[in-house]
Amino acid sequence: MLIKIPRGWEISENQATPESGYLNRRQLLRAAGFLGAAGLAAGGTAGGPYPAKRNPDFTLDRPITPDWAAEGYNNFYEFNQDDKQAVKNMVGKFQISPWTVEVVGLVNKPKKFDPDDLARTMPIEERLYRHRCVEAWAMAVPWTGFPFSELVKRVEPKPEAKYVRFISVFRPKEMPGQVQYTWYQWPYFEGLRMDEAMNPLAFMVTGLYGKPLPKQNGAPIRMVLPWKYGYKSAKSIVKIEFIAKEPDTFWHRSAPGEYGFYSNVNPAKPHPRWSQRTEKVIPDMERRPTQLYNGYEKWVAGMYNGKEY
């Protein structure tokens, strides 16, 4: 294949952040009172299990990212790979209800779940987590969800189950990127080793900022893995499969030399096309040092021998 495939991540770091000026301008407008409720990214309606009680074990080393920034600057290639701020305006046709998450594969009790039922019946809590995209932008947000291990317990994996695969929704009629970007293998797919999936940090998320998850952030249900680059955390999941062998992943398939299976945040391991030493915190894009495992080594370092990438 000699065709040059355009990928969102194949742009220089300078080009990757034209939005910082825009976001600052928005902030100024908001401060001046020019943007009212209509200027906010649409979130879900509060009520039901939201807001959930915050788990005090997870603290931040920085302020919480403003909701309009985390809900208005999104990586969601099913909609748009070039303009993170356009995603929130492209999700209108995306139907998130009814929705079924199928849990299948090497389990004793395969099950189908409705995300709304999960939010009502699982031990949901709010966690403040840092998020680090492989592109270097970062944020810190209050997710609502439950430990993925709780769902695993309900399906009883067999001893042969060594990995978990996550598959996002395929809705070409509702997701223009799935039609336009023919060079990717849709739907989005990701994976974890079993011990990573059972780690207490692995969080299945149904809410953000004390409300149901906005569509652009991966409604109605997504994974959040704060010690890994953001692309490991699949959005809008419809299938979870327990398997015996390490699975391929969407980004590894697209660019095997650039994206490995583990993808743990590591400042010392540069991306082939840019450094990972520092990160840029949205919306102001001020630089901070990247932390090993995104600052979560206390929880996750014991799972690795330092060679995983």
Ligand X SMILES: Nc1nc2c(c(=O)[nH]1)N[C@H]1C(S)=C(S)[C@@H](COP(=O)(O)O)O[C@H]1N2
Token couple for 291: 């932390």
Please report how close the Cβ of residue 41 comes to ligand X at its closest, in angstroms: 11
# chain residues binding ligand X, by CB under 6 A: 16
State yes or no: residue 250 binds Mo ion (CB under 5 A): no
**One residue of 85, 144, 199, 217 binding ligand X per CB under 6 A:** 217
Establish if 133 lies at the interface with Mo ion (CB under 5 A).
Answer: yes
Q: Does 78 bind ligand X (CB under 6 A)?
A: yes
Taking residues 132 to 171 in sequence order and writing x for each that binds ligand X by CB under 6 A, - otherwise, the string is -x----------------------------------x---
Q: Is 265 in the site for Mo ion (CB under 5 A)?
A: no
10 Å CB burial of residue 59 (0-12, 13-18, 19+) is exposed
Q: Radius of gyration over alpha carbons of the chain, in Å?
A: 19
Q: Single out the segment in contact with ligand X by CB under 6 A; choices: 47-55, 196-204, 227-235, 272-280.
A: 227-235
Q: Using the rule CB under 6 A, which residue among 236, 249, 263, 264 binds ligand X?
A: 236
Nearer to ligand X, 157 or 218 (CB): 218
E-assigned strands of the chain?
Answer: 101-105, 111-113, 125-132, 137-147, 163-168, 189-193, 203-208, 211-212, 222-224, 237-243, 278-281, 286-289
Q: Which of residues 241-300 bind ligand X (CB under 6 A)?
A: none
> Which residue shows structure tokens 């030493």?
277
272, 199, 188, 268: which is closest to 235 by C-alpha? 188
Q: Which two tokens stand for residue 282?
A: 């949205």
Residues 205 and 221: beta-carbon distance below 8 Å = yes
Reference 223, options 189, 248, 261; nearest CA is 189
Contact flags string 80-119 toward Mo ion, x per CB under 5 A: ----------------------------------------
Residues making contact with ligand X (CB under 6 A): 74-78, 133, 168, 188, 217-218, 230-231, 233-236
Residues making contact with Mo ion (CB under 5 A): 75, 133, 230-231
